[in-house]
Each structure stands twice: as C-alpha cells, then as structure tokens.
Amino acid sequence: MSAIIRPNVLQMEPYAPGRPIEDVKREFNLDRVVKLASNENPFGPSPLAVGAIQRAAANLHQYPDGSAAAIRNAIAAKFGLEAENILLGNGSDELIHLIGLLFLDGPDTEMIMGNPSFVRYDAAAHLAPAKLTKIPLDADHKHDLDRMLEAVTSNTRVIFVANPNNPTGTVVTGTAIRAFLDKLPAHVTLVLDEAYFEFAAHAPDMPNSAELVREGYNVIGLRTFSKAYGLAGIRVGFGFAPKSVVDAYHRAREPFNVNSLAQVAAIAALDDTEHLQKTVENNTFGLKFLKDLFEQTGGTPVESYANFAYANIHREADPVFQALLRKGVIVRSGKHVGHPNFLRVSVGTMDELEIFASEYRAL
C-alpha cells in the first residue's frame, strides 16, 4: 500500500540547485571548474566569521540559543530596529516557507508574485495550497507594481517582490514601492525580498525594508548572509517585520532553527566591513565586465544591481550552457524560467570571469 501524499505537494517541483563543482569535474574529467551559477561570494566567507566558527566548535555538544538573542540584537542595532522586529531563519528560504504558512490558509487565500522571480515563492503558495497569481515583469524586466495592484482581491494575503529581482537583477525604486504600499489594502502584506541588497545599496532611490518597517508600513523585509557576507554554507537568513509578525513567526518556527556556528559566524560577518566592501567593489567591476562582454558578442544584458548578469544572447541558451559545462564553466540557462535565450552568470573573481569570457567567445 502506498502512502497518501497531498496532491498539491506532488505538483510541486523540487528546487534545482547549480551543479556542484566536484560532480562536473567527475562527469567531464576536468581538473579546473569555475562555478558562476549560484550567486555565491567569490572571496569565500568573512575571515572573522571563520575565526568565530573555529572558537565555537568546541561547544557543539550544547544546543544553540533557541532565541538567537545575540545575533538578533546585533542585527537590530545595525539596522536601527528592536530585537522584536527581527526574524532569523535557516536561510531566507525558511523565512519564505514560514511566511506562506503564517498568511496563506488554503485555496480561498491568494498570493501574488512577479514572473519570473525566485522560484521558492511558488512553493510557499503551492504548499498551502493557495491561489497563486504570477504577474509578468514589464518590458524592462522589472516588477510591474501597477498590474500587481490591479490583481489584488479581498482574498489576497501576501505579495512577494524581490528587489533586486532574481533572475533579472533589476530593481524598483523606493518612490514606486512607497506609492504601491500607500495603495495596498490593509489585509495584504508586502514581502520585500532584499537578498542582494548590499550590491544595490548605491542605486538611486533604492528602497530599504528596515526603514519601511521602522515607519510602520505593513512590510516584511528579507535579507541573507549567504550572498555578500559569504555564509551560504551555514544558512542564515534574517528579516525585518512588525512585532506582531515576529511573534507569530516564533510560534510557528522550529526550535533551534539557526545552529550555533551559524549564529556566531553571522555576528562576526556583520562587523566585517572590510570583507563586505571588497566583495561589493569586485561586484561593481564584474558587472561592468560582463555587460561589456555580452554587448561585444551581440547580446543584450539587463541592467543588474545584484551579483549576477542576466543577458539575452539571441540564441538558445541551453546548448550554450551545456557547451560551457563541458569546458568547466558552470552558469545558468534561463530556459527553466521561461527565458530560453537568456543566460545568468554570477560575478566571480576577475580571473574566473576571464575564463568564462574566453570559453564563451570561443563558442
């Protein structure tokens, strides 16, 4: 007798991560593989975070602080909020998952997101299961806030806006977000996913979810230590929210959801301004390098404020992705998000980008 699984779960697509380096080496018998597919920090983790992990390793027999008080206080102080406004999770993926559980209550409730955008938003809706409305991005590959607002009904509970957006790297302005919020009904919560915020902080009129929460807007802001801070391997997501939302989140989350090493590493990384600055400066150079490369080779890059370039290469991207893979360069095809002619390439070190450029030009 087979187990009876909820039908909505079986309709969900498992997340497909970028190919691991060691797998590609084995499959194609390669000594050198450059991974530019997962938007990771090319300089690795903060050295201060590594030191904090090493010092904390002797205490792994003890449970973590279940309230994560030290890191929540550190985040609150850094961003001008109170600890009661801080969400902390096992990566921002857990925060997205639990936001769905908090707000979506079956098929009579609705969620809105852009298309294409981060695929884990889909999962939050499907798991409920709630009605999911996807609004196509506009002609500039940005979230179409006007059409999102038009799609709101009395049953809408959550709207996800990734800013910068993944996979396009585009942003919507603070002026546009505030106008959107001023028109949004009180029963709808905006989730502003700012996983790539540190790379976009310089953008003109860049919205900041911490400020919006501080001003009393019905907003949840999501951030992560996985990208600019270089801690993807230990999974620490954080966010800003009204105190009532944070209280509900603590009721729903698992105990000890952020492990001991992740907590001390995040505190250390938060203070490592040198590592963060180095990362952001390299990203600025890398984005320009990739923009120039795609334009010189007949492509049309989207203006990106994240740590990756997204470009229409005006031919099928999947064969290009496969050819690069055989050459030891891992990127992403846009085929899986409905953009079959687009490539997404993470910003690596300049040496890694030179390798990509050489192999890409040779195709």
Structure tokens at 315: 């031919």
Domain final residue, candidates 209, 238, 272: 272
Could you tell me what percent of the chain has a pLDDT over 70?
100
Structure tokens at 205: 């009129």
Tell me the one-letter amino acid at 114. G
Q: What is the pLDDT of residue 318?
A: 97
**205 and 337 belong to one structural domain:** no
Q: What is the pLDDT of residue 225?
A: 98
**83 and 20 belong to one structural domain:** no
Average pLDDT by stretches of 10, the chain with 363 residues: 83 82 94 96 97 96 96 98 98 96 96 96 94 98 98 98 98 98 98 98 96 97 98 97 98 96 98 97 98 98 98 98 97 96 98 98 96
Cα(260)–Cα(256) distance, rounded to whole angstroms?
A: 9
CB 240 within 8 A of CB 85: yes
**153 and 289 belong to one structural domain:** no
Domain final residue, candidates 272, 288, 312: 272
Domain final residue, candidates 254, 272, 290: 272
Q: Does residue 1 lie in a domain region?
A: no
CB 36 within 8 A of CB 331: yes
Strands 131-136 and 110-115: parallel
Helix, strand, or coil here: 183? helix
Q: What is the pTM of this model?
A: 0.96
Give me the domain span that covers residue 340.
7-44+274-361
**292 and 159 belong to one structural domain:** no
Helix 260-271 and helix 69-79, axial crossing angle in degrees, nearest 10: 20
Q: Does residue 233 lie in a domain region?
A: yes
**27 and 93 belong to one structural domain:** no
CB 158 within 8 A of CB 99: yes
Q: What is the pLDDT of residue 159?
A: 98
